[in-house]
Amino acid sequence: MSIDVETAARVAKLARIKVAEDALPALAEEFNTILGFIEQLGEVDVDGVEPMVSVTPMRLPRRQDGVTDGGMQDKILANAPDAREGFFAVPKVVE
Amino acid sequence: MMPDLTKLKISEARDALRKGDLTSVALTEACLSAIEGAGALNAFVHKTPDLALEQAKAADARIKAGESPDLCGIPLGIKDLFCTKGVPSQAASRILQGFKPEYESTVTSQLFDAGAVMLGKLNMDEFAMGSSNETSAYGNAVNPWRRSDDDTALTPGGSSGGSASAVAADLCLGATGTDTGGSIRQPAAFVGITGIKPTYGRCSRWGIVAFASSLDQAGPMTKDVRDAAIMLQGMCGFDPKDSTSADLAVPDFEAMLTGDIRGKKIGIPREYRMDGMPQEIEALWAEGTKMLKDAGAEIVDISLPHTKYALPAYYVIAPAEASSNLARYDGVRYGHRAQLGQGDGITEMYEKTRAEGFGPEVQRRVMIGTYVLSAGFYDAYYNRARKVRTLIKRDFETVFADGIDAILTPATPSAAFGLGEMSHADPVQMYLNDVFTVTVNLAGLPGVCVPAGLDKQGLPLGLQLIGRPWEEGDLLNTAYALEQAAGFVAKPAKWW
């Protein structure tokens, strides 16, 4: 499978990373090198093999669905690039 | 009177502290001054001298009161991937510039509860993605070792390059590392120190910046195997805040270091004999095999047939998980946000922030991950890679069921290379650094690297031992026997 410039642009968009138009051909080429390497996986007979979910055979622990923590608005906002009046501030999302 | 305190091993410092021959304050001051003089290595990227001295004083008081855990008063370096309360923790990325966590990672809080001293944060590859510490927003960390015949600056390996450099140069007594595909073991091998990645689930991942959650594990990087046992003991244990943390008792690893490996079965996997493997690596591997045999172990040729597919499977699974984990860096909650132009909306904010904040290797992996998870390719790439991962783990389960106790392999396909030497290679060439280590992460097993010799240019080379799940104690004991037989004591000549 070969990735063209258009696919590279679509992937960049999905990943929410701005890539300049003139950088796309080089990016597509890098993807093709890496995917070419990954293609080897096609040689393996995986019929009837379960995809791995957890590397250690353990049951995920469960707990009561209750509030165990909270009341730390200041701490949560402390690292925000833009926090106002107790909220994270972002550019306008709805017109 | 002890001449050079920074050269002490953790075990030696512990004993001297307990005897009252040494104070943590003196030891910490010696390390801080070594760090001040080692700017050229670029290992410590955020120094915390005030915190260190405060912790050292508290440790001295504890020791005086007769209450001293093994790590009490021991000065350590902490990889920048660990969140440390009130101290910059930016995973060597521009996108986390200015981030000061309001909380402490479980591993570091366990270390601090035991009285350990933090000297500062250590350089690494950005988000632990790299094998040479060249993707760091802080610039390269430098290997204290140089080739005997030239002054080329060499890589300390990656991603835990700062940790490796700092321990090898005696800037700290030990350091934390993390290992997703070889990031503790490859740098340990490149600088001639010991590094262990424990079984997946041994060390809590809580508070460690996530790269690929099903592969990431923390572990110690130390001057010898005994120190690795002591420090690992302090780092692991059950943590309810990490849902994959193992609720298992942690044995006394140091007490298991007897050096007696008589009757142990050591597997030598034929698939690790790679085409084009340097003769020196091959010879070192054969020598290590002989050492274990001479120590009374039984050597068994084994097969791990899916080895070849480990790296390609890794380069689907790790980027896939990274693309999901790194989605959180959106310029809203922490770290960097791009300057926005007139009319820019939220999508432009995400796209510009991530383009400015992530370096090229991180961008590449996030996008590869996005691609292999996207509609139409999920089955062909991601699910297939997870099936191959099942087969890789099965390879190991089969040999362990046949009675193999540990597996001996080379640690890396070469000695440390020059910084910048790989800059024109394609990304896949760099990925090949992890060819011997990545299988261990995919199978969730413990793996330890021990320095075993020098190459003809005078650079350290390491061997790797892979153990059964949860049997770090037995694995460390085999590593201890190998360490004793190899007798590696070389240190880099100080030039920095």
Region B174-195 average pLDDT: 98
The full set of domain ranges for chain B reads 8-262+471-486
Region B420-434 average pLDDT: 87
Q: Is the Cβ pair B349, A90 closer than 8 Å?
A: yes
Q: What is the pLDDT of residues B71-83, one digit of tens each?
A: 999 999 999 999 9
Region B269-279 average pLDDT: 90
Q: Supply B146's token pair.
A: 């140089």
Amino acid at B259: G
Residue entry with tokens 């896949």 = B428
Region B88-110 average pLDDT: 98
Q: Is the Cβ pair A34, B428 closer than 8 Å?
A: yes
DSSP secondary structure letter of residue B383: I
Return the residue in B93, B370, B393, B440 with the most chain A beta carbons within 10 A, the one to mutate for interface testing: B370
**CA-angle at B444, arms to B443 and B445, nearest 5°:** 90
B428 CB neighbour count, 10 Å cutoff: 16
Q: Supply A35's token pair.
A: 């995917």
Which of B79, B165, B192 is closest to B126 using CA atoms? Answer: B79
Q: Is the Cβ pair B102, A79 closer than 8 Å?
A: yes
Q: Is residue A91 part of a domain?
A: no
DSSP helix/strand/coil, B466: strand
Residue B238 CB burial class (10 angstroms; 0-12, 13-18, ≥19): middle
**What ipTM did this prediction achieve?**
0.96
DSSP helix/strand/coil, A50: coil
Give how far B431 is from chain A: nearest CA, Å. Answer: 10
> How remote is the C-alpha of B460 from its chain's centroid?
17
DSSP helix/strand/coil, B389: helix
- Which of B79, B121, B197, B264 is catalytic? The answer is B79
Q: Is residue A12 part of a domain?
A: yes
B400 sits in which H/E element = helix B384-401
DSSP helix/strand/coil, B36: helix
Q: Is the per-residue pLDDT at A61 higher than 90?
A: no
Q: What is the pLDDT of residues B26-73, one digit of tens each?
A: 999 999 999 999 999 999 999 999 999 999 999 999 999 998 999 999
Q: Supply B385's token pair.
A: 């890679």
> Edge to edge, what strands does the sheet with B117-122 contain?
B44-47, B117-122, B75-79, B174-179, B217-222, B194-197, B447-454, B460-467, B406-410, B265-269, B298-302
Closest by Cβ to B390, choosing from A41, A50, A60: A50
Strands B406-410 and B265-269: parallel
Q: What range defines the domain where residue A19 resides?
A: 5-36
Q: Is residue A67 part of a domain?
A: no
Length of chain A: 95
B378 sits in which H/E element = none
Is A44:B383 a contact under the CB 8 Å cutoff? no
Torsion of CA B285, B291, B297, B303, to 10 degrees: 10
B279 CB neighbour count, 10 Å cutoff: 8
Q: Is the per-residue pLDDT at B281 higher than 80?
A: yes
Q: Is the Cβ pair B330, A81 closer than 8 Å?
A: no
Q: Supply A9's token pair.
A: 């642009």
Instruction: Read off the pLDDT band of A59 (50, 70, 90).
Output: confident
Is B118:B165 a contact under the CB 8 Å cutoff? no
Closest by Cβ to A17, choosing from B346, B363, B393: B363
Topology adopted by domain B8-262+471-486: Amidase signature (AS) enzymes (3.90.1300)
pLDDT of B430 = 84
Q: What is the pTM of this model?
A: 0.97
Amino acid at B230: I
pLDDT of B431 = 86
